[in-house]
Amino acid sequence: MQTDQQRRQYLQAMVIQTWLLRRPESRCLEEAPISENVDIHQANQVVSALEQPVVATDWHGLQAEVSVCRRCDLCQQRNQTVFGVGNPDADLLVVGEAPGAEEDAQGEPFVGASGKLLNQMLLAIGLKRENVYIANIVKCRPTDDRDPRAAEVAACEHYLKQQIALIQPKIIFAVGRIAAQNLLKSDQKVGDMRGQKFEYGDSRISLVVSYHPAYLLRMPSAKRKAWQDLLFARQVLNSK
């Protein structure tokens, strides 16, 4: 059940003010033309349209759906969507936050310095980049590399859920606060979630939390803790 706060966040993302829907400047929202002022019922209909699950039932269909997505304003600034990369039958799924400038340019998650570090982290536990699958909470780059907003995360959530359902990984490795908190529906800090085995949603897929590679580049002293997280993730994976 959607809360009033979540509904307000959706409406704010669509430039809706105090239950009056104004014509958005963006053409990215999937909606028919709407008059300048509508009642709460009409506003709720627009919000509900954004909440409809993605109907793609296969990998290529889902990828095509994401490539033309207009469910939130992030589509305005993107060069391309960043669907994900790796083995769609992987046992381990890495989930990060959002694409950055390099990811937006290349259409692939975790490239550049963060990507190189992630590759090294995976190799340290005997996994190559092509052996796992790597995705993000949102598929488009937020402006100025800010944190994605709640409505943007919600607009992309169906895509990630379907990726997880299609991959059916044995373990999800959530890197960074945004990924961990949104996957677990929690407001805990990464430091408080480390070292524990969680379960993701109704699928009950094992989930382990660690620091984002970008954070490790800024705080090399945390790499020892990240190594502990990797060992723990490998332990959980090997127990499956």
For the chain, domain boundaries:
4-51, 81-238
pLDDT in tens, the chain (240 residues): 445 554 455 444 433 343 333 434 444 544 433 333 434 443 443 344 444 444 456 899 999 999 999 999 999 999 999 999 999 999 999 999 999 999 999 999 999 899 999 999 999 999 999 999 999 999 999 988 899 999 999 999 999 999 999 999 999 999 999 999 999 999 999 999 999 999 999 999 999 999 999 999 999 999 999 999 999 999 999 998
The amino acid at residue 110 is: F
pLDDT at 28: 57
Task: Tell me how far apart the alpha carbons of residues 223 and 181 are, in angstroms, rounded to a whole number.
Answer: 21
Query: Do 216 and 226 form a contact (C-beta atoms < 8 A)?
Result: yes
Residues 6+ apart with CB under 8 A from 91: 132, 169, 170, 171, 237, 240
pLDDT at 69: 94
pLDDT at 44: 44
pLDDT at 42: 39
* 81-238: CATH number: 3.40.470.10
Give me the torsion for CA of 175, 179, 184, 190, rounded to 10°: 50
pLDDT at 22: 40
pLDDT at 144: 85
pLDDT at 37: 41
pLDDT at 18: 36
pLDDT at 143: 87
